[in-house]
Structure 1
Amino acid sequence: MVRTLAVSYVRVADVERITPRMLRITFSGDALASLMEDRPDQQMKLCFPRPGQRVPRLPGPDAEDAYGMRWYEAYLAIPEPERPFMRSFTVRSYDPGSGLMAVDFVLHGEGGPATRWARAAGPGDVAGMVGPSSAYARPLPGAGHLLLAGDASALPAMGTILASLPAGARATVCAEVADAAEEQRFDTAAELTVRWVHRDAGASLLDAVRSAALPGEGAAAWLAGEAGTVRALRRHLVEERGLPRSAVEFSGYWRRALTQDDAPTEEDLAWARERTAGA
Structure 2
Amino acid sequence: MLKDNTGYDLKQLFVGSEGTLGVITKVVLKLFPEPRTTNTALCALKDYDGVLKLLGHVRRNLGANLSAFEMMWPDFYERMTSGLAHLTTPLPHGHGAYVLIESQGTSPDTDKDHFERVLGAALEEGVVDDVVVAQSETDALRFWAVRDSSGEFRAVFWPHVGFDVSIPTGEIGRFVESLKETLKAKWSGTQTVFFGHAGDSNVHIGVKVTEGEQPEEEIEQVVYKAVSEWRGSVSAEHGIGTLKRAFLHYSRTPAEIATMRLLKSALDPKGILNPGKVL
Could you say which TM-score interval applies, normalised by the shorter chain?
under 0.3
TM-score, length of structure 1 as denominator length: 0.27
Task: Select the structure that is richer in strand.
Answer: 1
Which has the higher Rg, Structure 1 or Structure 2? 2
TM-score, length of structure 2 as denominator length: 0.27
Instruction: Work out which structure has the larger RCO, using CA pairs closer than 8 Å and 6 or more positions apart in sequence.
Output: 2
Task: Select the structure that is richer in helix.
Answer: 2
